[in-house]
Structure 1
């Protein structure tokens, strides 16, 4: 390894969360880190990855995500023109297991690699300030501390943990040992902590791989043992590193804060003051968006009268109109509407739990569902029929499959479809259609260089997604 490579920071982006507090825009099928909530043309995940493109500071990043999100991650990285290692978690085991995998992965390249752990869903208003902070905190990491970035508070926020700053770290200007962590306080407690000079706990960590591995071994050896076995048993699936499911599932489920940071004697912090938000609630989204003269943050087709200090977020072609309301959040999507006060927007997570308890599919599934080959969107559904709009990316190919309970009609509206129907392969052009009888073996491929769009009409006794018998699938589903 070259001397320069040995001084690079190894960034790891954790993006396995579901972001239920930002329902209905964020759902299990497309969590908040992948949606353009703040920037109209890019997700917070893409913006996070773009902050790591200075190759004089950062090495090739690694991404830890769920298997279900793997193709969304790959597509958004390609859209941002960023190459990365994508590691797939078979299930959610919280951040301690994720950090252990990230550390082991980096240590295989360099046992003393400085690892930077980042969340995929944070908004940072100063990329240069963030990069400089990472470089400064890396000095504390190389000195043997497990560093975090402590944000200087701008308000008595009750949604963040706080850090009491201790003595200076020798050999790392600006860095301090952490005196203690403080759980999320009430408003009076937050005001007191700020007066005492406490910082927000950002959840960013920098450390030497060997230091973190030693702390994991000392405090949660069962997590280290399980994740090491999961990485040892990992297989390469297309461009992904798929962890061994049985081994990873044996890791206890806990956060890195509880597992290590609140127990280690090596915790350090670098105070920073760049604009930062974890955009964890709609109230927080309102704070980071630009406001009009009435203090409103408006997205999409929106009209207001006598409305102030509110967030109105409208997706799709419809218009959302609000009259005479202050300090509210109104979010409309093609299949769901949310109305809440800003002050109560944190309770949206409880609402999603309630929706799941009543088996509402909108709790987790968007009307537009993303797949490795593109996406589909339900247009209409009724007794014995369903209509979908389907988009297949250039080179995309659906699985070779059949259905026991429905027939399908495909009408091409853009591009050219290559359709396998039993033993034949035919090309279907714009304004042409093909009929797929019940039980027929079929597959759809886009052989062209532009997106393929078609309308699918399903007719039969059952049109659920589980009436798919896959015979062959290039995506390993």
Structure 2
């Protein structure tokens, strides 16, 4: 029997959930009330399906180490992990084409890909498993199978799938895909009971999707094939990493799988399902996941409220006082505050888009930034100085590097540091320090068994994170605009 390989598509910045979701820490890493991230929930849901022994993840190469950390926290004792690492996003059609080519080459044309977005919430695992079982039956018969969600309201924010003729007991042929409708059309769809929400989840036989791409989107298939031929493949214990070649991937058309393949193909089936699904597409959707008090408020953090109702306030680090408010979203992070009318929470993306156009760091980064060796937090910055708290996990190491325009002063707060400073290599204990001049090569390593925590004081005429020249790096990273 053909093997089932879940393929988690982890792209996009989740701009509607700014300021928590950002380009370098996107929506799949958001924690839900139970402490698990959306990515962890997706991985757990996929990896525990009957018969699954391997999970493939397509994600940006800048977040692969964080993704691996998230998976390790869930536990991966029997699951092999493959990764396809994109240098930048090119939408879902190239991502799925790369996944199909990768799996067909290594595991055969008959293997089945279960395509799952990394940032959706599914709360009924039993119903999900039953829907997957139905979808695999259709996929083995040569259908490009999608999952249609039974609508619960006249929703104008989702695309729809119109059901065609029945395909036995397992699903229906798709009559057509429909773009996001207006309110009257959405109500007619709900009343007619023939339209389903399009969740963007698929079950596809690898050989079939490649044949259909050759028919309907040959330029996508050709360009992705060329890209894979020029890409680096790294084999490790328990899986592979394919790092897509940036130059050739830039030539691939940016297009969704719906437009490139699902809409023009006549070989598309749909499995109707009710699986407790949410795309967590706005702060209003996040609010709906949490219980409220008698006034309809949910507060995370310390608050003092007077005549406040139906508000969602998330401020874990700072006291919030509020008077005379109704139906607002308040999200407070160390470097950005969002205040929005809950009914217009979809428009938060406009703020994120404007920040991106301005080149503002608050679009891309939090004050705390995850790196493969640990993390750093910007504590304070001003003209010609920046102060960071750096945490390096046991056994991990920053790259051997150099800065042209800044000096750095390192002070160990806890743990032990092994420091390379020019031609010298030495150990620093708690409360000891070293000074690194501009232009001097240096490296920081944690040789101990506990976290290394240190304070870094940067001084200089330019303190941008792109002032870095890497010489060697144990994580195989090319020079990039990032610390360490």
Q: What TM-score, normalized to structure 2?
A: 0.93
The answer to whether the aligner puts 1:118 opposite 2:125 as a matched pair is no
CA distance in 1, matches of 2:149, 2:434: 59
Deviation at 1:406, TM superposition (A): 2.1
Q: Contact 1:11 / 1:59 at 8 angstroms: preserved in 2?
A: no
Q: Contact 1:320 / 1:332 at 8 angstroms: preserved in 2?
A: no
Q: How do residues 167-246 of structure 1 correspond to structure 2 at under 5 angstroms?
A: 167-170=165-168, 173-197=169-193, 198-237=195-234, 240-246=241-247
Deviation at 1:302, TM superposition (A): 4.1
The answer to whether the aligner puts 1:42 opposite 2:36 as a matched pair is yes
CA distance in 1, matches of 2:183, 2:309: 24
Deviation at 1:439, TM superposition (A): 2.6
Instruction: Give 1:68's aligned residue.
Output: 62
User: CA 1:106/1:297 → structure 2, altered by over 3 Å: closer, same or farther?
Assistant: farther
SS of equivalent to 2:46: coil
| Residue deviations 1:352-389 (CA, integer Å, cap 9, x gap) | 12222333221222111121211111111122211101
User: CA 1:472/1:270 → structure 2, altered by over 3 Å: closer, same or farther?
Assistant: same
Q: Which runs of 5+ in 2 are unaligned?
A: 478-484
Deviation at 1:237, TM superposition (A): 4.5
CA distance in 1, matches of 2:22, 2:65: 16
SS of equivalent to 2:287: helix
Q: Which runs of 5+ in 1 are unaligned?
A: none
Q: Contact 2:301 / 2:318 at 8 angstroms: preserved in 1?
A: no
CA distance in 1, matches of 2:304, 2:198: 38
Q: How do residues 22-421 of structure 1 correspond to structure 2 at under 5 angstroms?
A: 22-36=17-31, 38-54=32-48, 56-82=50-76, 83-108=80-105, 109-170=107-168, 173-197=169-193, 198-237=195-234, 240-315=241-316, 317-421=317-421
SS of equivalent to 1:84: strand
Q: Contact 2:49 / 2:129 at 8 angstroms: preserved in 1?
A: no
CA distance in 1, matches of 2:222, 2:349: 33
Instruction: Give 1:15's aligned residue.
Output: 10
Q: Contact 2:137 / 2:170 at 8 angstroms: preserved in 1?
A: no
CA distance in 1, matches of 2:384, 2:47: 51
Q: What TM-score, normalized to structure 1?
A: 0.94
CA distance in 1, matches of 2:301, 2:27: 17
User: CA 1:306/1:368 → structure 2, altered by over 3 Å: closer, same or farther?
Assistant: same
Deviation at 1:100, TM superposition (A): 0.6
The answer to whether the aligner puts 1:423 opposite 2:423 as a matched pair is yes
Mean CA deviation greater in 256-265 or 298-307: 298-307
User: CA 1:304/1:40 → structure 2, altered by over 3 Å: closer, same or farther?
Assistant: farther
Deviation at 1:324, TM superposition (A): 2.4
User: CA 1:31/1:319 → structure 2, altered by over 3 Å: closer, same or farther?
Assistant: same
SS of equivalent to 2:339: strand
CA distance in 1, matches of 2:90, 2:431: 48
SS of equivalent to 1:51: helix
Deviation at 1:54, TM superposition (A): 2.6
Instruction: Give 1:466's aligned residue.
Output: 466
CA distance in 1, matches of 2:362, 2:71: 27
